[in-house]
Each structure stands twice: as structure tokens, then as C-alpha cells.
Structure 1
Amino acid sequence: MNKIVFALFFLLGSCNGFAQNIRSDSLLRVLKSELTREDHYDQAKEKRIAMLRGALLHTDSTQFNTQFNLSSEIFEEYRSFKFDSAFVYVKKMIDLSERFQKKDSLIHSKILLGSILLHSGFYKEAFDITGQIDTSGLPNALKTDYLFLRARLNAGIGDYDGDAHFSQGYYRQSKEDFKKAEIVTPPNDFERTINLAFLPDSIKQKKKTPDFFYNTIIRHQLPEHSIAMVATRISFAYTGEDRILFLALAAINDIRSSTKETLAIFLLGQELFKLNRTNDAYLFMQEAARNAHFYGARNRAVQIESILPVIAAKLIDEKQHQKDKLLIGFLTFLIVAVVLFFLLVIYRKQLLRIKASELEIKEKNSELENVNQKLWESSKIKEELIGLFFKTCSSYIETLGNIKHKTLHNIKLGKYKDVNLFLNNIHVEKEKEHLYHMLDTVFLTLFPNFITSFNALLKKEDQIWPKSGETLNATLRIFALMRLGIKEHATIAQILGYSVSTVYTYKMRIKSRALVPASDFEQKIMEIKFIDSFPH
């Protein structure tokens, strides 16, 4: 997949300036896409590490080579991923080498320890490690690694100091160590080709353009981490879009190799900031900050923290400038729109007034019709209820009169047992049921669709229907009184002979099962239609 992507980039244009911009922009788009897949690459690395750690755990403690090689593999996985874990395993490599008295392995492990201390900003500790290494009689490979470590350490502390006087000494020592390393182990053809990028323009062959070095990296099919390292190194030979090209390539491969101790994305953010591409600079500098904290690179974190607020401030300024431009454009548009609006208002003033008046009249008529409808409905309900009230009261007054007359008559005659028998035959509950039946009958006359409409607000399994012979049951009767406009719990409880808490419980139980929100349930009850339509 990587080869296909890079091949596509290779085909992008042949014109050096314009094509380079296209290619660097394409790589930046790929880089942003890879940032979204960063967790995927990290998880794959964690799986590899878990497998290696499992293998190490089951290794015989007497087998030096197996233990050392597995520890070395785990270290390499952690080396540019997480400092503290890499430190643990390189210390294990040192301990194994000392225990089994393996001098070359010990020196190799100490060089590796120095390299991660350098990456994390522990310069003094890294210098202490290089001072402990006895370089006499070292194989060329180890001596070269040692010299490269010391060279990078001097260059790193020179960059960190940033002092015109003290840094120069570190830089001189770094160059000397690099030269010594090249004498011990001369560069191969690929390394010599890469070194051509740092020749002066007057000496560098004309064909050695950024395209040449870019294609050289791709053509050699290096591992992803190696691509990132080589591309980062070549980026120092260029500026502007050419440098962005190599730094973007390096940053992409850092993500794919789960490299957190990465210089490329930090340098990319700096270069984009110089070119006033602040949005991208801020995005990549934030990623660099996350990587530095994840790895534990204290020196890099300090560098980032010094420049990130500057980029953020510029980004805020740019956005504010854009907002100001938009505001000016909006105000200009608004002024023109207001002028046109007033011209239109003047032109159609009379017509709009007439239409507004007609609309207002229609609205008022509609409101008046709604009010009249409610008044008429209320009047009809009151008429029926008042009729029921007087009819019921007359009936009960007549009944009370009969009771009084018969009771007094029996008392006068001394027929106390008959009085007691007579009074026991008066069933209050039946009278109450008779009263509720009359009330239900009147209500259902006014609202014949009440039961159906009420149950339409509930799920089928929760619907409440009167039993055979019933008009309304207790639950329906509570909401019937609410439809008549009686909403106080105490009043409803007094009419129906319940406690206030019982009325409240009935209401809450039904609301909790309703198909509509509980807050809208009572309004839906009040919307149940009256029998008669308002006479227009």
C-alpha cells in the first residue's frame, strides 16, 4: 500500500516548483489522514510487544542469547515509542551482560541506554554513560555506534543550550566525532548518495534535486522508521516547500512505525509556521506535544511549549482577522439590504398595511371564535351540571323530608325498633353510586367520545375500560372531573370520597403509562371534544 501511495506521489508533475507544492500538499493530506489511524498503529505495536514479553517470560534464565535477544527486540519496539519502558529493558540487557560477563553486549547495551537518555533530554546522564565506556579494543561496529552517540549528544546539547559561545564547542566536538565515525566505518553507496544533499549548490550536480533524493528514498524500500530518519536528515539540506516535502514524508512514516520520539513533525510545524500556514502548523505542533509527553522527551516538550503559544496566538489573530473581514462584508451587505428594504417598504407601504390589517382581523376573528367556543362549551357544561345539581338536591331534600317525617312518626308511637330498622335500610353507598351514575351519565352525554379518546393516549395493554354495567370507573371519573375544569386534587378527592394521595397516585400511574409526555397528558385530556359543535 505504501509503495502505491508513494508511486502516485512520484507521478505528480514534473515542474520543480509547482509540482513540489502539489506533492508536499498531497503528503500533508496523507499525513492528516494517518493521524486519524494513529491508534491503530499503536495497538499493533502493543500486540507485538505483548507477544515478545510473553516469550521472554517463559525463557529459561540460564539462556543468555535467548533472553538478551528478546530483551533487545522489546527494547527496539519501545526505543522510539516510550522512554520509561525502553529504559527498563535496556537495563535488563545491561544486567544480563554483566551477569554472563559479555563485554561486547554490555557496551552495546550502554550505547543504547545513552541514546534513549539523549532522546529524553537526560544529557548529563547520557554523558556519564559515554564516560563509562572503555573504547579500547572495541569492534568497528561498536566504536562507530559509540562515536555517533557522542556526536549526536554534543549536537543535541548544543541545540538545547542555544548559546552563541557555549554551543559552538559542542558543535565542533560533534563534527569531529562524526568524521571519526566515518573513518572507522566509511559510508556505503546509499549513505554517500544522501550526503550529496549537503554539498554546496555550486558543487552539487544539477540532477541532485529534491525529486532525486525523494525517489532515492522510495526506491530503496527502507523500513518505515528508516525512511523517517533519512527523510528528516535530508530535510536539513532544504527550506520552504522542499523541506516540507521530506518532513511530511518522515512524519507519515513515524506514525506508521508508532515513533513517538519524533523530530520530524515538530520541525514540520516550525517550517509551516514560517510559511504562515498557521492552521497546519498548530495541528502538527499539538501532535508533536502529545508525542513528546507520551514518550517522555523532556527536552522536546520544553521546545514545543516555548513555540506552541506563539503559534496559537497567531492562529487566534488570523481567525480574528477573518472574522473582521466577514464582519465588514456582512455590514456592507446589511447596509445595502437595509436601503433596498426601505425602498421596498416605501413602494409597497399601503399594500402591506392593508394585508396586515386583513391578517390581524382574521387572527382576531379566529381568537374570538375560539373564545366563544370555549364560553359556549363552558355554558353548556354548567347548564347540564346545574340541572343535575338541582334535580339531585330536590331528590335528596324530598328523601330527607320523608325520612324525617317517618322517623318522627315512629318515635311518637314509640316504635324505636322500626326507626332503627328503617334507618338501617338507608344505604348511603348505593345513594353515592346512584349519584356517581347520574354524574357519569351527564358527563358522557356531554363527552360521548371521552372513554375512547382517553384510551387512545395509552398503550393497548394499559387501556382502561369500564366493566359491564359501569359508566365510568374510579380512574376515568378522576380525569372526567379534570375535563370539566376541576383540577385541584383536594376538590376531586372531596367529590369522589377519596384521599388526596389516592387521587395523586391514580394520576401519576396513568401519566407514567401514557404515549405522550407526562407534562402534556393533562392538556391532551382538555382537548377531548365536546359533543356538540359550536353554532356558527
Structure 2
Amino acid sequence: MKRNFLLLLSLFISFDFIAAPLEDVQLDSLYSLLDQTIAERESYSIEKNRKIDQFRVVLETDSTSTRNKYFLATEIYNQYLVFEFYGALHFAYEAIKFAQELNEPELIHESQLNLAQVLVIAGIYQESSEILDKLNPKKLSTHLLHKYYVIRKDLYNQLYFYSPTKKIKEGYKEAYTNYCDSILMHVPENSEEFLHIRETRALDNRDLQLALSINSKRLARTELGHKLYATVAFERSLVYEIEEKINFQKKYLILSAISDLKAAVKDNASLATLAFLLYHENDIERAYKYINISYEDALFYNSKLRAIQIANILPVISKSYEVQLREQKSRLQHFNIIITIMTIVLVIGLFFIYRQVKSIREARNITITTNNKLRDSNKELVDANEQLNQLHTDLSTTNMVKEVYIGEFLKICSDYIDKLEHQSLHTQKMLIKRKYGELLTEIKNSDVRKMEMKLFYKNFDETFLHIYPSFVESFNKLLDKDQPIVTKNKNSLTTELRIFALVRLGINDSNKIAKLLGNSVTTIYNYRVKIKNKASVDREKFDDYVMKIGEFNKNIEN
């Protein structure tokens, strides 16, 4: 996953850098990419050696012509040029040998210039200068003359940079400037060398915007992972160093170092410069890592000058790193002591906590047992209470029913005594007046019975609904929603409701119900079956549900 991310970041920087500079790229991401590239640097060296070996195999083949051997030796020289000094030096001499065998001045001059070039890179200035002095610029072709001027320019630039004597230093600078002018006169205006010199002069004149503009053009012609990109990115970091834009300076030093590593450039400056910059920012660990890698590369290249340059910086960073390690070791020892003390305290604390938890667990078990007993006792008390309340409610309800019905019974008895007395007096009068026929007719008249039954129903309905005002509503809840019983008015009951009203009063026998309501037993039975067929509750327990209507003065619910 991390490797894929770094690859994507590398592609982003490679293809989108010119269109969108590194303002939005975080330093941490670039450091991650650099560290990943460092971890893989051995593979880049192996690939470089593999490519060189391919050329060497052909070079050492007997069937290869001398001319081809020259070009192969030159190609191997170019591969070694920034990879390994002695390899480049050896094949520079090999190319000179093949050129002399061919006795072609153009190839001889080219191979001698290559030798001078690698000596300049390695810091062997005197021998390089002697080789260049032996060459007659007038006898060089345009291509080689251009190369001659570039090598002379690089030679005097380095002599100027490292010379400690002011007067001699000025002479080197003048020679460097003259060769720069010569190059500008002999190369196209849009060439790499032309733009390089223009950028350098803009930087020397502190025209930083022009320097950045030219540098952007040069960057656009290369990509991350190439030697040229490493060079141009390093030179861009110099602009940001002058502008004191440290983050941008570090970003381009990182990009330059990544390109050096990917191109297997062992003669590099960016990683050491980055290490020294990080040292001044107190990022000692990273500085130490980078300066050591840079020193390893310098030793591998066999560049004494580069190794000396890095060796001057390395002890300073190494000493700071050792100091940091000692401080870290000291802090670690203190932390170990503190951790040991805290561990001992923790163990003691855990022991006491364990004892406390054990005591709490035992107490909790006792509490749970006690609570369970209390809960059981409380449940028994609640059940007993509910039974008492039920009994009290039942007794209250029963007493109320008794009181109401006793009152109604006494009223009905009183009414019937009055009626019997009235009927007795009426009968006596009729007998005294000898109205036997008329009296017999009155006695045979069935309207009297009907009127009495009607009056009985009215009294029963009113009395029952007085005791159980929500009986009709509760009773309908026991039936299907689509088949409720509808009464004529709120103070009367239907025959079906009267039957089950008597059931609610405890009269469950159909014979007794039939006698009380003046119906046949069959009629009463049929009514009961009809109602139970409409029931929404269990038919077998329908009468039990009816008996619960009005319990605790609450309506029965489904």
C-alpha cells in the first residue's frame, strides 16, 4: 500500500510538476518518497551495472570492429561518468587507445576531451588542464569545440570556487566568464547550455525571477529520475536559498536527490546539502542518515574531492547525532527507572485492588442473596396485597350490588303490595256489585302480564346499568368489531344483553334465566349460542370474561 502511494506521488511529481509547482506537495510526502528511493538504491546500482555489462560483453567480443569498440568504450565511459570514477577513467583511456588505432583526429580529440572531463569532475584539475592545453581549439569541429568550451568553463568554475587566493580567484572567474561568453556565441539560444549559463548569470545578478523562469523551461525538458533533472532541481534550490524560502529549497533538494538516486549518480551534491540544511534545523537523525549515504556514494565514486567536502561536514553531524543518542539513552534510562517504579506501584495497587474487588464481590453476592430474598418477600406481600385489594373490591362490589338490589327488591315488593291491595279492593267492589262477567274478563286479559313484564325489564335494565354503566361498551369489546349489539337507548338492554347481565350477576343457569325473563329455555340457549358465535375471545371462557366486566371499577379490555 505504501509502495503504491509512493509510486503515485512519483508520477504526480514527474508529470504534473511544471503545470502545478510544489506549493501543494507536503514535505512529509517528499521525505517518504526519498526514503523509499534510498531503500531501493541498491537496485538502481544493479541496473546500472547490468546495462554497462551488456556493452562490455559486446566490446570484449573478438568480432567487434575497432571503430565499434571505440563507440562502445565511449558509451561505457558515459555510463560510468557520474557512477564510478575509475571505471570512467579506464574506459576514457580505452577509447583513446581505439581512436589512436583508427588514427582519426576527430575521435582522438573527442576521447581526450572525455578524459579531461572526468578529471575535472573528480577534482584532478592540473592533469585536466594539461590535456586541454595540448588541444588546439582551431582544429576542433564545431561539436567538439562546444564541448571544449564547456569543460574549460567547468574547470575554471571549480578552480574559482575552491581557490583560497583572492587574486588568483578573480583570474579564474574572468576565465570562466570568457568561456561562458564563448559558449553563448557558439550554441543555439534555446539549447541546454545556453539556458544554463543565462540562469547562472541571472542568479549571480540576483535577478531571481528571471532565474526561476529559465529554470522552469529547463525542468520542462526533463523528468524526475534523470541526471539532468537532478542538476536543474539542485540549481533551482539555490534560487530559493537566496530568497530564504527554506521549504521550497528543501523540496527541490529532495527532488534532486531522488533523481540522483534513480539515475545511479554517485557524484552528487544535493543529498549532502540537504543533510547540512537539516542539521541546522536540528533534524539530526535525518541529517545523519543522509550525510552517511552521501559519503558512501562519494567513496563508491572514488572522488577524493567530493569525499573531502563531505568529510568536513560529517564529523559535525555525527557528533550531534551521538549527543542526541546519548540524550535519548539517558532519557530512556530515566524512563526505564520511572516505568520500573510505576510497575512496582501498579503491582501493589493491583494486589490491593484485587483484595478490594474480592471483598466487594463477596459483599455483592451477600447483597444479591439478600435482595433476592427481599424481592421474593416483597412479591409475596404484593400478591397478598393484591388479593386483599381484590377481595376488598369484590366485597365492595358485592355489597354495592346487594344494597342496590335489596333497595330495588324492597321497592318492587312495596309496589306489588300496593298493586295487590288495589286489586283486592277492586275485586271486592266488583263482587259486591255482582259484576262477575266483567271481573272475569279483566282477569283473563293478558295485557296485564305484558305490562308487568315490560315494567320488570325497565326496572331491571335501569338498576343493572346503574351498577355497571359501561356494561354494553365492555360487552361489545368481547365481540367481533363488525357485529356489536346496539341498544335503543342508553338506559335499556336487549334480550341478549339481559341474559348476560344475569350471568354477570351470577345467574348462569338457563332455566333460572328463562323464568326470570319470561322466555323458554330453548330461546335462552339459542341466544347464548348466537352471542358466543360472535365472540372475539375464547368461546369456552366467554362467561368468565363477562364475569370480569366492571371489576375494580374498570372497563374490560381485549
Q: In the alignment, does 2:269 pair up with 1:266?
A: no
The aligned residue for residue 152 of structure 2 is: 150
Contact kept in structure 2, 1:78 and 1:86, CA below 8 Å: yes
Q: CA deviation at 1:318?
A: 3.2
Change (3 A) 1:148 1:207: closer
Asked whether the 8 Å contact 2:199–2:215 carries over to 1, the reply is no
SS of the equivalent of 1:238 reads helix
| Matched residue, 1:316 | 322
Tell me the secondary structure at the aligned position of residue 81 of structure 1: coil
| 2:458 paired residue number | none
8 Å Cα contact 2:225/2:262 also seen in 1: no
2:438 aligned partner = none
Deviations 1:483-518 (A, max 9, x none): xxxxxxxxxxxxxxxxxxxxxxxxxxxxxxxxxxxx
Tell me the equivalent position of 2:127.
125
Matched, 1:280 2:286: yes
Secondary structure class of the residue paired with 1:299: helix
- Residue 186 of structure 1 deviates from its aligned partner by 3.7
Cα distance change, pair 172–27 in 1 and its aligned pair in 2 (3 A): farther
Instruction: Write the distance in 2 (CA, Å) between the matches of 1:140 and 1:65.
Output: 21
Please give the alpha-carbon distance, in whole angstroms, between the structure 1 residues aligned to 2:212 and 2:174. Answer: 28
CA distances 1:276-335 after superposition (whole Å, capped 9, x unpaired): 322222111111111111111000111111110100112223344455666777888899
1:59–1:66 Cα contact (<8 Å) kept: no
Q: Is the 8 A contact 1:56 1:71 kept in 2?
A: yes
- Counterpart residue identity of residue 33, structure 2: V
In structure 2, C-alpha distance between the alignment counterparts of 1:68 and 1:189, rounded to whole Å: 27
Which residue is equivalent to 2:9? 5
Report what 1:241 is aligned to.
247
The separation in 2 between residues aligned to 1:297 and 1:184, in whole angstroms, is 31
Is the contact made by 2:188 and 2:194 (CA closer than 8 Å) also made in structure 1?
A: no
Q: Deviation at 1:77?
A: 1.4
- Report how many residues are paired: 346
Asked if structure 2 preserves the Cα contact closer than 8 Å seen for 1:6 and 1:218, the reply is no
Alpha-carbon contact 1:197-1:234 (below 8 Å) kept: no
> Pairwise mapping of residues 478-493 of structure 1 onto structure 2 (< 5 A)?
none
CA distance in 1, matches of 2:131, 2:324: 47
TM-score, normalised with respect to structure 1: 0.55
**1:59 and 1:67 in contact (8 A); partners too:** no
Name the CA distance, whole Å, in 2 between partners of 1:30 and 1:132: 47
Contact 2:212 2:239 in 1 (8 A): no
Contact persistence 2:187–2:194 (CA under 8 A): no
Distance in 1 (alpha carbons) for counterparts of 2:311 and 2:297? 13
Match runs of 1:48-87 below 5 Å? 48-60=51-63, 63-87=65-89
Correspondence for 1:115: 117
* Structure 2 partner of 1:402: none
Cα-Cα RMSD: 4.0
Q: 1:114 to 1:43 in 2, by over 3 A?
A: same
Task: Using the TM superposition, give the Cα deviation of residue 343 of structure 1 relative to its aligned residue in structure 2, in angstroms.
Answer: 11
How much does 1:342 deviate? Answer: 13
Give the structure 1 partner of residue 190 of structure 2. Answer: 188
Q: Structure 2 vs 1, CA of residues 128 and 294 (structure 1 numbering), >3 Å: closer, same or farther?
A: same
Match runs of 1:35-434 below 5 Å: 35-60=38-63, 63-188=65-190, 195-196=198-199, 199=202, 203-205=207-209, 208=212, 217=219, 220-221=222-223, 224-239=226-241, 240-322=246-328
Indicate how the Cα distance of structure 1 residues 39 and 204 shifts in structure 2: closer, same or farther if over 3 A, else same.
closer
Which residue matches 2:367?
none
Secondary structure of 1:136 counterpart: helix
| Residue 434 of structure 2: aligned partner | none
CA displacement at 1:136 relative to structure 2:
1.0
**C-alpha separation between the residues in 2 aligned to 1:202 and 1:54?**
50
SS in 2 for 1:260: coil
Is residue 26 from structure 1 mapped to residue 32 from structure 2 by the alignment?
Answer: no
**C-alpha distance in structure 2 between counterparts of 1:222 and 1:302, whole Å:** 28
Contact 1:272/1:278 (<8 A) preserved: yes
Give the TM-score normalised by structure 2. Answer: 0.53
Aligned-partner residue type, residue 178 of structure 1? C
Deviation at 1:253, TM superposition (A): 1.5
Paired with 1:237 and 1:53, the residues of 2 have a C-alpha distance of: 41
TM superposition shift of 1:275: 2.8
Unaligned residue ranges in structure 2 (runs of 5+): 360-558
- Report the Cα distance in structure 2 between the residues aligned to 1:207 and 1:109, rounded to whole angstroms: 34
Cα distance per residue 1:232-253 (max 9 Å; x no partner): 2322222222222222112111
